[in-house]
Amino acid sequence: MVQIITTDDAPDILNNLKSQLILNFPEITSLIHGVSRKPSQIAVSDYERVLFGSEFITEHIGSLEFEISSNAFFQTNTQAAEVLYGKALELADFRKTDTVLDLYCGTGTISLFVAPHVKEVVGYELVENAVQNARKNAIHNNISNCSFISGDLRQVLKNTKTFGDVVILDPPRAGLHEEVVQTVLDLDPRTILYISCNPSTQARDVALFCNGPYRLTSIQPVDMFPHTYHIENIVRLERTYGL
């Protein structure tokens, strides 16, 4: 899949670019044009149209298969992603009775990996296309204990009636909004598992949790992008009472 994001729609330019891309890269099966008129730290468009092929692609991580739309987040290095999620499972130390809240769940990758090890997983995601992918992915992989909710975390979490024994966080590079940090603190989970591609904003957010009733117990970086300085970092936080 190739997605081109521009600030304006330019059909003549895009049609010429489409012809050149398809001619020179026959492996392309999905070519999407997205338009975003506002600056953003993440590659997401306000609306999109299919220039060529399918509106989604299919990827595999371990034994699971995922449908991925252009605006949905998905780890590009799938082999390293399997290592990342395996390490997350080890650090989380889930219980079969746990209800897990997966915040910024994307297409449901972490949710579906976690599901066989816990009672229930509820995923939350802002991008509606990603939520639709996640719901289809759960059905396609025959996983019945996952549900997915679309909306801005600052609003939907305040209205949630679901208690989370464990909260998983995997936000964009900008990290967590302070309102989200406070809402997670209000949820009072036993364990917080925070996965981040930006250790600097992660450290800022972890300090906020540790100023409250949590202590940092584990850190595990994963080299997702060899020969670059980019990593994914997993942090485990435990509540200091009632464990």
Give catalytic residue positions: 197
Show the tokens assigned to 113: 């990996």
Tell me the three state secondary structure of residue 58.
strand
147's tokens: 């549900």
Residues 6 or more apart whose CB falls under 8 angstroms from that of 191 comprise 92, 93, 165, 166, 167, 236, 237, 238, 239
* Secondary-structure breakdown of the chain: helix, strand, coil percentages, each rounded to the nearest 5: 30, 30, 40
The two structure tokens encoding residue 137 = 């992915």
